[in-house]
Structure 1
Amino acid sequence: LNAGQFPLSILAMTPRAADLYRKGVYGNTMTANPRALDVAHAVLTAVDESTRSNIVGAGNYLKEQLQQLAIELDGAITKVQGTGLLVSCELDGQRYQAFGAGSTEEYLRHHGIGIIHGGKNSLRLTPHFNITEAEIDLIIDHIRHALVDGPKRAVNQNTAKTAA
């Protein structure tokens, strides 16, 4: 659970452990500050059965489309994984750099796609809970464009000659 992309950390403990803490108002991410809890409550209140169903269905559709893209682009994407709408796709590290200067992540961001890196060489997608299939298709089109026309790792000429 997060608070709709608002920083939130919550620590669960037994009553005995809780009694050891001094009561007061805390104000940083790691102490479950009151604003973060208000935001989390609003998110939980807004998530109804329809939203939960979309998280599962749209998440499955997103993973299926990324897997199809992996096939279409001959292994440019080497792994697709995720739960619900927290999904990642690992890129072929020989051809693509997922993050940093001149990366696929940077390229996608410059083209309006809110994407972040995750793992060794992966792109992580965390779309909004009510995303539609049309919006997912748009994201997939942008990822396709980034992998076909976007930045690539430089090929070592010695390795390329040896392989030929």
Structure 2
Amino acid sequence: MSAVTREQFDAVMVPNYAPGKIIPVRGKGSRIWDQAEREYIDFAGGIAVSALGHAHPKLVAALTEQGQKLWHLSNVMTNEPAIELAQKLTELTFADKVYFCNSGAEANEAALKLARRHAYLNVGPEKHEIISTLQSFHGRTLFTVSVGGQAKYKEGFEPTPGGISHVPYNDLDAMAAAISDKTAAVIIEPIQGEGGITPAVEGYLQGLRELCDQHGALLIFDEIQSGVGRTGSLYAYQRYGVTPDILTTAKALGGGFPIGAMLTTDAVAPSLGFGTHGSTYGGNPLACSVSLAVLDVLTNDGVLDGVAAKSKRYFDGLKRINEQYKVFKDIRGMGLLIGCELIDERKGQAKDLNALALEEGLLCLVAGPDVLRLAPALNIPDADIDEGLARLEKAVARFVG
């Protein structure tokens, strides 16, 4: 067979993606290599997925061991890894019950369906409204793009599901004006990811909790991107000290193997009774075995304890770069989810800086048109942080030059 080329992607793939011009073929830790054996430092982490880097030996061992035993059963049978993982998640979080799926969008779909059904069963069909925030992102299914607060993702797919409204993020007054006894749920990202890496301000999540309690609405935290150690706690809600009724998690939960989960309480879970929702692959033994290994490494190998110091190393380095080149108007985030917002004169050019970084041997991300996003492995070595920042500085110098 002839060598695979980037041009073949455009020939055979639906054009909904525009991947970078290289094709990575292998990775180790926080470095990857392309077809030409050129090395890159990974500050992207597969969009906050590869929380332990590439080819982590404990994850490889878990996948290999389970792969020799049992791959798939579907939901007509349960399996040991799924039960063990659900048990572990309930021990580590507020949750009493867990539902497994394959992705963040599916986890949010389940959470929103649960919220509506819970309101339907306990109050009636009139209590069905869902409130989200502007600039939020909750997935690509028809329901989740409708709940997401970015109109561009809905364009051309209307009519979308109704009963959904949006208010500005970090604006408690706007939420108080929108919420009512017809509200089934409020869904929020503790740190807006795709919308620009914007953390919730002090008191915002607590205020949402109180508003939901006043109106009998469920509070859903979308922790697809902020969860599984990204902020230095296993989940961001633990840093904020505010407990939701439902939490969604995916991305880093499998360290690169597809898995998602919806976590909830004994008070809410019964509303998603037998036959109301499902997933053929959800909770499969392969995914759950890898996820168990991820949680084991995070909680027992000191990875979570090191996030704060690595975060400071990033912020200090980014500030040094910005002091010289004055290209960022804001550097924000939490833990190892970091957004660098370009100055007004450079609005819309995040993708250009990202492309220059790739040319310098560094993988980064964008979060909207104006923000360069970093979401590296939580165990990235300090030497890789320093070298990656040096490569980013070269890209910035070219960007402003």
Do the two structures share a fold, i.e. TM-score over 0.5?
A: yes
**Which residue pairs with 1:37 in the alignment?**
288
Which residue identity is paired with 2:312? N
Matched, 1:65 2:317: yes
SS at match of 1:88: strand
Contact 2:360 2:394 (C-alpha < 8 Å) held by counterparts: no
Normalized per residue, which structure has more helix? 1
Separation of aligned partners in 2, 1:98 and 1:46: 33
Matched, 1:83 2:334: yes
Contact 1:87 1:125 (C-alpha < 8 Å) held by counterparts: yes
Contact 2:329 2:342 (C-alpha < 8 Å) held by counterparts: yes
Structure 2 CA distance for partners of 1:121 and 1:23, relative to 1, 3 Å: closer
**Which residue pairs with 1:119 in the alignment?**
368
**Which residue pairs with 2:355 in the alignment?**
106
Unaligned 5+ residue runs, structure 1? Answer: 153-164
Matched, 1:54 2:303: no
- Structure with the larger RCO, 1 or 2 (CA within 8 Å, 6+ apart): 2
**Which residue pairs with 2:189 in the alignment?**
none
SS at match of 1:79: strand
Structure 2 CA distance for partners of 1:20 and 1:83, relative to 1, 3 Å: same
- TM (normalized to structure 2)? 0.33
Deviations 1:59-109 (A, max 9, x none): 121112112211121x2121111211111211224237111xxx1111212
SS at match of 1:19: coil
**Which residue pairs with 2:64 in the alignment?**
none
Deviations 1:25-60 (A, max 9, x none): 523xxx565544333222111113521121111012
Separation of aligned partners in 2, 1:106 and 1:67: 21
RMSD: 2.6
- TM (normalized to structure 1)? 0.74
Normalized per residue, which structure has more strand? 2
Contact 1:69 1:77 (C-alpha < 8 Å) held by counterparts: no
**Which residue pairs with 2:280 in the alignment?**
26
Separation of aligned partners in 2, 1:24 and 1:76: 47
Shift of 1:123: 1.1
Contact 1:25 1:33 (C-alpha < 8 Å) held by counterparts: no
Which residue identity is paired with 1:19? G
Separation of aligned partners in 1, 2:338 and 2:318: 10
SS at match of 1:138: helix
Unaligned 5+ residue runs, structure 2? Answer: 1-227, 229-251
Structure 2 CA distance for partners of 1:151 and 1:77, relative to 1, 3 Å: closer
**Which residue pairs with 1:15 in the alignment?**
269
**Which residue pairs with 1:94 in the alignment?**
345
SS at match of 2:383: helix
Which residue identity is paired with 1:43? V
Which residue identity is paired with 1:53? D
SS at match of 2:341: strand
Separation of aligned partners in 1, 2:315 and 2:372: 13
